[in-house]
Amino acid sequence: MTQSLPNVDPQRMRQDLARALDATDQPPHAPRILLLYGSLRERSYSRMLTLEAERLLRHFGADTRVFHANGLPLPADAEPDHPKVRELRDLSMWSEGQVWCSPEMHGSVTGVMKAQVDWLPLEMGGIRPTQGRTLALMQVSGGSQSFNALNSMRILGRWMRMFTIPNQSSVPKAYQEFDDDGRMRQSPLYDRVVDVMEELVRMTILLRPHSATLTDRYSERLGEAERSAEQA
């Protein structure tokens, strides 16, 4: 037996799920994907990899935006109405899925990457700019193949309540993988990026009609019911 569970109605859950399954006949639109990367360098391999991913996403029919963090203040070093903060938050609200691509630095994500995530509020006046979005992860490194930045970003994705897809891309010795025009050379590493972007588009199209149903939480319904009772 469970304890007493106000706001839990298994019947309602079954109805919600049935409705969510029916919702797939909504008019199709290009999946909206926001791409973030964690470097300000002029010749930045994480930016090149991000732009390569963007080309693939467009090829698969996605509508894309890339956020460039140049000029973004450090978290709390400006008001949230700073133009770069607003741009980042608006893009996150607009998105249905995201790509995060960080260089590995000292075995983790860069401060530039983390600052972008830290400027995204989990909840802001009832609006949640990341919750329920799909997320694909990529990293570049100067050394041999590593997964430290990817693993850190998986934790961040969980924290931001996003659906992080299983496949991921790690590009070691990134300086060897791009030509003078910034294009990624053909290789199994490039093929992996194709795999990841294809999976992201599929997952985003399949999950987006169900996002609200999948992120509906008992404890939050309980909190809302308590707040309404206090106001009444």
Verify binding: residue 46, ligand FMN, rule CB under 6 A. yes
Rounded to a whole number of angstroms, the minimum distance from the CB of residue 155 to ligand FMN is 17
Rounded to a whole number of angstroms, the minimum distance from the CB of residue 38 to ligand FMN is 7
Q: Using an 8 Å Cβ cutoff, are 197 and 153 in contact? A: no
| DSSP codes of every residue in 151-203 | HHHHHHHHHTT-EEEEEEEEESSGGGSB-TTSPBPSSHHHHHHHHHHHHHHHH
Nearer to ligand FMN, 174 or 200 (CB): 174
Verify binding: residue 59, ligand FMN, rule CB under 6 A. no
Given the rule CB under 6 A, which of 140-148, 154-162, 194-202, 219-227 is the region that contacts ligand FMN?
A: 140-148
Q: Compute the chain's Rg from CA coordinates.
A: 19
| Residue 89: both structure tokens together | 């938050």
Rounded to a whole number of angstroms, the minimum distance from the CB of residue 71 to ligand FMN is 17
Q: What Å distances lie between residue 7 and 27, 46, 219, 222, CA to CA?
A: 32, 45, 9, 6
Q: Using an 8 Å Cβ cutoff, are 204 and 63 in contact? A: no
In the region spanning residues 155 to 214, those forming contacts with ligand FMN, defined by CB under 6 A, are 174
Given the rule CB under 6 A, which of 21-29, 98-106, 159-167, 209-217 is the region that contacts ligand FMN?
A: 98-106
Rounded to a whole number of angstroms, the minimum distance from the CB of residue 47 to ligand FMN is 6
Residues facing 65 on adjacent strands: 34
Size of the site for ligand FMN (CB under 6 A): 17
Verify binding: residue 116, ligand FMN, rule CB under 6 A. no
Residues interacting with ligand FMN, by CB under 6 A? 39, 41, 44-47, 103-107, 140-143, 146, 174
